[in-house]
Structure 1
């Protein structure tokens, strides 16, 4: 089988909503894992797939990475974003951390500080289990098991009781026209309630989230106080988004 034919087959698998793994494709096509990785890299360069840890998924509407894949995808970039976000938090503040892999990295970067943290993420809350000077309030609600978060009417009702110094929000995709979007309707409603409860609202997102749309809108870009992203962001997109809100590029700490 020629490389072009193999890559077309890979695209067919992915566009059918089926995430692919390098090891499985290697066995299926009887080629080396290195060959499959080159295939996936080429397809990603063409904007046809999005690579994950050990495989790839569709870049089309509705393809949501598993938590395990998102956990390691662009991890260094997420840590750079987290360090920048944590530097903006002052001791004694009350902040809200949304559920997500980047916000969990923010939680890790805040360890050792003196803060009050409210979150709808059990994973974020657990980061602070051994932190005596960080008071944690875990919001109630419906357990969204795939990402270990709490969403829905009960969560939204609780959020109306608070006013946070800073809200750090996550999103699945950011489009210059539509704004920040997510795959899940109830999650979008909870994120909107978070925004309404914050004095300063900061979206944290690595560069892979931009120029994409998913199922439902969270907010328009001009509703945000700021976006923090990494230095892989497309310059043309950066120029457009700067017309709506401030964009902060996190400094890379990777050698």
Structure 2
């Protein structure tokens, strides 16, 4: 098989599988790991893929957004490890905010031992999970439903949020760009409500798995310098910790 033919088939394979390791690709195409790494490097240089730790993912348009149902299946172990760390930031009596997202969704499962918390969320999915936990004071923001993320957004949600102040906001993201030092999401109205959550909270904890690192979406949420803590799993790119030091936040890298 010629090199260009193999690269085209690698790209087709990645779009079908959504991600693949170097080892997977070398077996699939019966070539060495070094050959695959060279192919991936060239595909990345032409903006067709994004190399990750040990593999690659296809690049998506900046406005692309997978459904929340699809995203719940991805990186479950990583999200659970991040949630176990995040719960350490919560104290009895806190007023906390849970952003709509699949990583913050995992945090709900860690709250069953609490009985004295005020919890605000704009997520229908998270609200349904919280309903099964007795002893928690729960508030659902009003607003327009975005079915893609099960989130309530828009003027009513923003008005509700402006009436309260939060101790700690737990925020997810679709993209974390180290070069520009920003977090992003595909939708402008969702970016706006996330930003207001950050503004109206004393402390912001960003929860993200490694797959979001290096991705840039359509709408900017905030600068990394506006985030107080970031929790991420250990499968981050080389020098990630070094790069994050520029943004004056507390970084926590957790093992799975």
Does TM-score exceed 0.5, indicating one fold?
Answer: yes
Provide the C-alpha distance between the structure 1 equivalents of 2:148 and 2:17, rounded to a whole number of angstroms: 20
1:90-239 correspondence runs (5 A) = 90-114=91-115, 115-176=117-178, 177-239=180-242
2:67 — aligned with what? 66
Structure 2: 5+ residue stretches without partners: 19-23
1:29-68 correspondence runs (5 A) = 38=28, 48=49, 58-68=59-69
Q: Which moved more, 1:77-86 or 1:238-247?
A: 238-247
Distance 1:72 1:58, change over 3 A: same
Question: Deviations 1:23-71 (Å, cap 9, x if unpaired)?
Answer: xxxxxxxxxxx889947x96996562689xxxx7534533323323311
The answer (yes or no) to whether the contact 1:160–1:197 under 8 Å persists in 2 is yes
The answer (yes or no) to whether the contact 1:50–1:59 under 8 Å persists in 2 is no
Distance 1:9 1:183, change over 3 A: same
Structure 1: 5+ residue stretches without partners: 23-33
The answer (yes or no) to whether the contact 1:119–1:125 under 8 Å persists in 2 is yes
Provide the C-alpha distance between the structure 1 equivalents of 2:12 and 2:28, rounded to a whole number of angstroms: 17
Residue of structure 1 aligned with 2:16, choices 1, 17, 20: 20
Provide the C-alpha distance between the structure 1 equivalents of 2:253 and 2:161, rounded to a whole number of angstroms: 29
Question: Could you state the TM-score of these two structures normalised by the residue count of structure 2?
Answer: 0.80
**1:204 CA displacement:** 0.8
Distance 1:209 1:6, change over 3 A: same
Distance 1:38 1:49, change over 3 A: farther
Provide the C-alpha distance between the structure 1 equivalents of 2:177 and 2:104, rounded to a whole number of angstroms: 20
Provide the C-alpha distance between the structure 2 equivalents of 1:38 and 1:202, rounded to a whole number of angstroms: 40
SS at match of 1:106: helix
SS at match of 2:214: coil
Aligned residues: 233
SS at match of 1:190: helix
The answer (yes or no) to whether the contact 2:83–2:110 under 8 Å persists in 1 is yes
Alpha carbon RMSD of aligned pairs, Å? 2.9
